[in-house]
Structure 1
Amino acid sequence: MRLPLLHHHVLPRPSLLARPPRAIPSLYRHARITSVRAQHAAPPERKPTLRENIYTLPNFLTATRIAACPVLGWAVLEGNFELATGLLVYAGLTDWVDGFLARRYNMSSVLGTILDPAADKTLMTTLVVTLTMKSLLPLPVAAIVLGRDVLLSLSAFYIRYTSLPSPKTFQRYWDFSIPSAEVRPTAISKINTALQLLLMGSTTVSPLLPGMAVGIGHFLYGLQWTVAATTIWSGLSYVFAKDAVRVLSDVRRPKEPPHQS
């Protein structure tokens, strides 16, 4: 008895996932084309970093005023008021010259708006500390002047960090060719700075004028507490003034080209 042969088409061959024969090759080609396009796509545009020239003559003169402060402090502590007075005269002259050059020859910079008041504060701090140590300046007045400067310095570090364009790295933070914020002194702050310089200059010169001790003593006493009052006032003006600090990341952002249809 012969067994019947099983035909090889008895069990139907299943279709591959019930898809048309050319479905998978077409999907493969589409995925490959998409991958190639993604590789050759243009990277996202990054905003250009704003930079400026900080190596100018006004900034150099301002830097020399800062460098002279340790010598000035040493002269006061050693009682060499002739040298101290000469350095004060140099500081006043360079302060006027660098301001004139910046305006006349368009050498102003954002760093200059920070470096110039920093030089004034370094000079002021040096004189306040050393004159107080020599008992030529009352301690309460010194505490008011130094306390205001410390608070403003801390706020300046905070403003620099918050206004610095991304990425916020340690190297970029101390790269002052990248401007981030501009400090604009208030009107009372300018008056206070002038009065402080007058007080420190008069106090420094006073030991050289022994014959005028009584008259200059009364003058210095009134000037000391006037400076204390304007120092507090100027510190509060930075807190409440709207245009004392201007962030430059939005002000100097390059204009985008118009969209073409």
Structure 2
Amino acid sequence: MIACPVLGMAIVNENFYLATGLLVYAGLTDLVDGYLARKYNMQSVVGTILDPAADKLLMTTLTVTLAMKALIPIPVAAIILGRDVLLSLSAFYIRYTSLPVPKTFKRYWDFSIPSAEVRPTQISKVNTALQLLLMGTATISPILPFDIGMPLGALQWIVAGTTIWSGASYLFAKDGFRIVAAASKTRTPPPPPSPPS
């Protein structure tokens, strides 16, 4: 997350060697983090929120800056960013509706109170890998000694398709998230979820 602003500035300033190095660094640290979490069973509800948030910050930084430098088309960037905005709004709504009563502002942001856990769908995993491949390929394309315009163009529209598909899978699949909050036995069960005011 700390590297994202530096990475963005490197791309905007067309320092693609630095940008490539930072992208490799971010990818490797993410892999190590995931490996350690699985090996030592260090997964948590907070982790299911922060880890995707870090990934999305990286993806947003790359999408915006690469689009600014015309290394990915604006429509593709709009699809990627639009999906993330839609899923973020959905996550806020799910957090609100699944939070045990009382639903206060302080409790909403207290992630020691679990309510719902995001579960990546299979297509979202494929889409994330393809998006990272696209961002990495677009970042290194200016420093390659040969032109990759045609395969890069094909990859851009493949990613546009998988991005739409993965967004729909989160919204309509039954296993996109899991409610983890349980009402206390001594309390009256909470009322059915209602839209935020």
Q: Same fold (TM over 0.5)?
A: yes
CA distance in 1, matches of 2:40, 2:177: 25
Q: Counterpart of 2:120? A: 185
**Is it true that 1:221 corresponds to 2:153 in the alignment?**
yes
- What SS class does the counterpart of residue 249 from structure 1 fall into? coil
CA distance in 1, matches of 2:116, 2:91: 9
Percent of matched pairs sharing the same residue: 74
Segment of structure 1 superposing worse, 86-95 or 198-207? 86-95
Q: Give the aligned residue type for 2:17.
A: E
* Match of residue 212, structure 1, among 146, 154, 157: 146
Q: Give the aligned residue type for 2:149.
A: G
Q: How many residues align?
A: 186
1:45-96 deviation line (CA, Å, top 9, x unaligned): xxxxxxxxxxxxxxxxxxxxx2221111111101111111111111111111
Q: Counterpart of 1:234? A: 166
Structure 2 runs not aligned, ≥5 long: 187-197
Bigger RCO of structures 1 and 2 (CA < 8 A, at least 6 apart): 2
What is the CA distance between 1:254 and its match in structure 2? Answer: 7.1
Q: Give the aligned residue type for 2:49.
A: I
* Match of residue 121, structure 1, among 47, 53, 56: 56
CA distance in 2, matches of 1:68, 1:117: 16
Q: Counterpart of 1:14? A: none
CA distance in 2, matches of 1:179, 1:220: 41
Change (3 A) 1:232 1:79: same
**Is it true that 1:153 corresponds to 2:88 in the alignment?**
yes
Structure 1 runs not aligned, ≥5 long: 1-65, 257-261
Q: Counterpart of 2:189? A: none
- What SS class does the counterpart of residue 246 from structure 1 fall into? strand
**Is it true that 1:72 corresponds to 2:1 in the alignment?**
no
- What SS class does the counterpart of residue 3 from structure 2 fall into? helix
* Structural mapping, 1:89-104, within 5 Å: 89-104=24-39
- What SS class does the counterpart of residue 117 from structure 2 fall into? strand
Instruction: Provide the TM-score with structure 1 as the length reference.
Output: 0.68
- What SS class does the counterpart of residue 2 from structure 2 fall into? helix
CA distance in 2, matches of 1:223, 1:69: 23
* Match of residue 165, structure 1, among 100, 109, 112: 100
Q: Counterpart of 1:9? A: none
Runs of 4+ in 1 over 3 A off after TM superposition: 253-256
* Match of residue 243, structure 1, among 150, 157, 175: 175
* Structural mapping, 1:3-42, within 5 Å: none
Q: Give the aligned residue type for 2:114.
A: P
Q: Counterpart of 1:203? A: 138
Q: Give the aligned residue type for 1:229.
A: G
CA distance in 1, matches of 2:2, 2:119: 24
Instruction: Provide the TM-score with structure 2 as the length reference.
Output: 0.90
- What SS class does the counterpart of residue 242 from structure 1 fall into? coil
* Structural mapping, 1:41-52, within 5 Å: none
Q: Give the aligned residue type for 2:176.
A: A
**Superposition CA RMSD, Å:** 1.4
CA distance in 2, matches of 1:94, 1:239: 30
1:119-158 deviation line (CA, Å, top 9, x unaligned): 1111111111101111111111111111111100111111
